[in-house]
Amino acid sequence: MFAVMAIVLGGVVVSTPAGAVVDSAVVVPSPNAGNSIDRMSSAACVSEAWCVAVGFTSTDSGNVTLIEMWNGTEWSVVSSPNTGASDSVLSSVSCLSVSSCTAVGDSTSTGPRKSLVEVWNGTDWSVVSSPGAGSFRSDELKSVSCVSASDCVAVGYTWAGSAYETLVMVLDGSVWSIVSSPNAGTSDDELFSVSCVSASDCVAVGSTNTGSATETLVMVWNDTVWSIVSSPNAGTINDELFSVSCVSVSECVAVGSTYTGSATETLVMVWNDTVWSIVSSPNAGTIFDALNSVSCVSGSDCVAVGLTYTGSAYETLVIVWNGMVWSIVSSPTAGSINDVLFSVSCVSGSECVAVGHTDTGNNVRETLVMSLTGPVPPSTTTAPSDQVAPAFTG
């Protein structure tokens, strides 16, 4: 996980970070579809010229799905279906190409929430059938990861009547089905993110309630069963993992938050093929810092995003991993009260998109998109020293 590259300078070998070089964050214009609340919960990019973001928008009759696409020049709202329910939201999207994406979330009209799965075929988005965990349960899908158009895993949680339990659905061919998943706590177990490097190698993260504290939860899939693996906690009261990104079976990064007793701080863990361990991560505020999403393109190229509380408002938080340390990248605010980043997707160590929402005041929240860029890392080929990666600007 801790990769560096060696450079020979005057006969002396010097080790320098081999990874992420994002050093700039810029707000990119993005449209809004609703009349009071528009939120982008997840982004997936297949290149610097093509991305998808999903979430929800409010209408007079309730929340409906929101999907926007980036064509290399601008973001635009595209038509997305709803199940006919009065409240439909999309929480996560995974794209394999410009003609293959899967988005998950949940919806309801009356009664329990039901899982929602939509797919993109290059032309249209459509709802596909997904199962429920029980007739009286509330099922919410929070994350999806696809390794092919017929191999996807979605995770979330389901209400069992007295507590929340983990929920895992798999697409094997053309049919979604629920697979058994364990629970670690005594009351609530929730999965917030999943990352698959193959159909038989997936990692899911979330939180579990032991009765006296909320602790990190990590599960792995070996193509046969899901099993819980040991994961550390940094605090004594509340530790949660909200996102995981794996680049191989031996290299994963998970992020979230931990409560120290006096403040909530960022939490970063790494997997080295043997154990999960906590690594030092910075905080921008003194009261509240949390990481909602992480995207890694290699063991030394990761970007994580979330939010920090300044004392008067929530502001965006961006940190980058360069193979040796995590560091904060200055990020702008778009609204007057609260700005939050919920998701980040990177196509290289210097080209990422982050999405969320911004509060403009008067109970109005609008979509928020940021371009995270930096100079292209050194390569083995000769290139101009001032070469800069294409930016997600519009």
Residue 27 has what pLDDT? 97
Residue 33 has what pLDDT? 92
Q: How many CB atoms lie within 10 A of CB 285?
A: 17
Ranges of residues in the chain with a pLDDT under 70 are 1-20, 84-85, 134-136, 376-394
pLDDT 10s digits, 331-359? 998 877 899 999 999 999 999 999 999 99
Residue 204 has what pLDDT? 98
Residue 377 has what pLDDT? 56
Residue 269 has what pLDDT? 98
Residue 110 has what pLDDT? 75
Residue 393 has what pLDDT? 31
Name residue 252's beta-bridge partners: 246, 271
Q: What is the pTM of this model?
A: 0.90
Across 293-324, b (16+ Cβ under 10 Å) vs e yields bbbbbbbbbbbbbbbbbeeeebbbbbbbbbbe
Residues ≥6 apart with Cβ < 8 Å to 144: 92, 93, 94, 102, 103, 104, 152, 153, 154, 155, 194
Half-sphere exposure for 329 (CA within 13 Å, toward CB): 28
Q: Indicate the burial class of 354 (C-beta count within 10 angstroms; 0-12, 13-18, 19 or more).
A: buried
Q: Indicate the burial class of 180 (C-beta count within 10 angstroms; 0-12, 13-18, 19 or more).
A: exposed
Residue 324 DSSP code: S
Give the chain's domains with CATH numbers. 21-373 (2.120.10.70)
Residues ≥6 apart with Cβ < 8 Å to 157: 140, 142, 164, 165, 166, 167, 188, 189, 190, 191, 206
Contact 261, 268 (CB under 8 A): no
